[in-house]
Amino acid sequence: IQISALRCFLIIMGLLAGVLGGSVSVPAPVAGQNVKRAVRYFKEASVAFGHTTDELFACLQALDSTKPSTTREARAALRKCRLCYKRISFFLDYFFPQAAWFYNAPAKYEVEDPYMEYEEPHGLQQIEALLFSSNPVLFKTALIEQATVIRESARVLPELFYRFAASDAQLLESLHLELIRIMTLYITGYDAPYLKSGISESVRSLDAIGYMISGYSDQDPAGSRLLKEAFQKALLYLKKNTGFDRFDRLTFLSGYALPLEDALQAFIRGKGLQICTAANLNYSAKNLFQHEVRAPGSAPGKDLIRLGKMLFFEKRLSGNDSRSCASCHQPENYFTDGLRRNKTFDQRANLKRNTPTVLYAAAQSAQFWDGRAKSLEEQIKDVLANPKEMNAMIPLVERKINRDVHYRALFTNAFHSGDTAITIDEISIALADYLKSLMPMNSPFDRYLRGEKQAMTTLQKKGFNLFMGKAQCGTCHFIPYFNGSTPPLFNRSEYEALGVPVTGRLDQPGADTDAGRFSIFPSPYYRGAFKTPTLRNIEKTAPYMHNGAFGTLSVVIEFYNRGGGAGLGMHTQHQTLSDQPLHLAPEEKKAIILFLNSLTDKL
């Protein structure tokens, strides 16, 4: 089922009519002077955004293959439009997320699981993709259609406030989430990879945050002093360094953005206005690199962690008492096995896919390469019962563990239960809690961000800036865990079709037959798509990719440098990775690898 741009337009119209509403839509008055101020700001800024959509529409109408300047003018108009949009994005993303998705959705087909509906690419990102194609005029009709829908909906954006109500706590949370977007998405060029306007857009976004902060500063100058100073420093640094490729993202994060997040968090807590609606964020943490992003569910207890660790090495969880979780996820190998693909339970064949590390697995919103499990507990049960992996009969496993008096005592203590039988649910919870503890974040990179400025070398620092900028790695491997859980809510996993060949021979690539997520959800846009794994500890977890095809990081970087499978000349339908080469110089590739080495934890 395809969802067209027309349906997206109807969604916006529904919002304007008060039929759908955003995250807050109740018949109550707008609360607080700062919220009223934010509404006035939004209405004024949305009018300005509307004017830029008019300009964009006119430039797209003027596209002419005989006049190359018309393409340049259209791109400039799109840039201007995006800059204006970022003045209101914090408000739309939080209070009217459907409208924000309409304007700034990724330029690829989005599959809505489990209903198998998929949305056509639409919005500003799709316009960018078409405008930067080899011949934009060929797409003139589609471009005008996209611009028309955006233009018409932008005209009535100020009317979104029918029956609108919000609180100061919600407004402040919207600012916090927007700051996370700046740090994790905008500065990487995530939503404007061709325009490379991400740093300039970050300026507009941060400026909007500052305007909202100033309202609170006027009311409480002493209590907001540190926050105001941190904001001014961060904004000044951005304004002085707007060049995309040369932007020093590491300095911005460590010296300006993270201190600003610290100050904003402290201010919100000091006012008692934390509401924590983003389930995967830990609002008691200082910032992104202080375990702000957490695994879903309650924090694991020490007794459960100890019990889970014992079970991780327990061979009685397998069908013939010969294999434990640690047989494949070996702690001494950073919880991998060093093999392209491990053996099946009966040792007669190879498993279908490479064994990934379980370090930071809890930071993923879906499990397995194809994302078929939605929780660690669900994944554990799947692995135990899978005849190719642990080949366990669940009732037999329960009986074996129940017969162990020591385990009975440990389970009783960990679950604070009486003398009841141990169940597979309790076993999976204990194992999951152990896995949730495997998120050390003590690598040289982490230590650098915490103030140890000698923890990274000059080349590693350069590598991080390339990773987050020119090489575009950070547009899929999102900080702080460098995986595919999408900020700022970290509740959705990205699945990418890269065209990974069956071996590491890039000069003679052969097609891999693994259908990936397509086997779970048979959408053509999922064929060959896999979950984006963490890059933390990647130095220690070779070989790489879902099939273990690449033995070294050098091959991995070169694969991306050439534009993935399509860039290698393979027929990769619906490849989500750009097929355009990155043009990385040898020294740049080396710097990126050295940076990746700085993500190695001390276990």
Radius of gyration of the chain (CA): 25
pLDDT tens digit string along 447-479?
A: 999 999 999 999 999 999 999 999 999 999 999
Contacts (Cβ under 8 Å, ≥6 apart) of 548:
339, 340, 341, 353, 354
pLDDT for the residue 122: 86
Output 157 or 355, whichever has higher pLDDT.
355
pLDDT for the residue 117: 64
Q: Residue 387's Cα: distance from chain center in Å?
A: 33
Mean local confidence (pLDDT), 171-196: 96
Place of tokens 């065209």: 499
Contacts (Cβ under 8 Å, ≥6 apart) of 413:
303
pLDDT at 374 over 80: yes
Helix (H), strand (E), coil (C) string for 224-235:
CHHHHHHHHHHH
pLDDT tens digit string along 28-39?
A: 444 689 999 999
d(CA 477, CA 496): 11
Q: In terms of DSSP bridges, do strands 117-119 and 495-497 run parallel, antiparallel, or are they unpaired? A: unpaired
Per-residue pLDDT band at 115 (split at 50, 70, 90)? low
DSSP class of 257: I
299's torsion region: left (phi>0), alpha (psi -120 to 50) or beta? beta
User: Do residues 42 and 85 touch, judged by C-beta distance below 8 A?
Assistant: no
pLDDT tens digit string along 534-591?
A: 999 999 999 999 999 999 999 999 999 999 999 999 988 889 999 999 999 999 999 9
pLDDT for the residue 286: 87
Place of tokens 């279908």: 352
pLDDT tens digit string along 486-497?
A: 999 999 998 999
Per-residue pLDDT band at 13 (split at 50, 70, 90)? low
pLDDT for the residue 312: 98
pLDDT at 331 over 70: yes
Q: In terms of DSSP bridges, do strands 110-112 and 117-119 run parallel, antiparallel, or are they unpaired? A: antiparallel
H/E stretch holding 434: helix 424-436
**Pseudo-torsion of CA 120, 123, 125, 131, nearest 10°?**
90
d(CA 342, CA 386): 14
In the beta sheet, which residues pair with residue 3? 119
Contacts (Cβ under 8 Å, ≥6 apart) of 560:
471, 473, 577, 582
| 3-state secondary structure (DSSP) of residue 368 | coil
Place of tokens 């259209």: 74
d(CA 30, CA 32): 7
Mean local confidence (pLDDT), 332-346: 97
d(CA 87, CA 304): 46
pLDDT for the residue 25: 38
H/E stretch holding 462: helix 458-468
d(CA 463, CA 469): 10
- Token pair, residue 57, equals 């529409």
User: Do residues 378 and 297 touch, judged by C-beta distance below 8 A?
Assistant: no
For the chain, give the percent of residues with pLDDT over 70.
Answer: 92
- Token pair, residue 469, equals 């900028």
CA quadruple 265, 271, 272, 275: dihedral sign: negative
pLDDT tens digit string along 273-325?
A: 988 888 888 888 889 998 788 776 666 789 999 999 999 999 999 999 999 99
User: Do residues 79 and 201 touch, judged by C-beta distance below 8 A?
Assistant: no
pLDDT for the residue 118: 64
pLDDT for the residue 290: 87
Place of tokens 């037959």: 513
- What average pLDDT is seen over the chain? 91
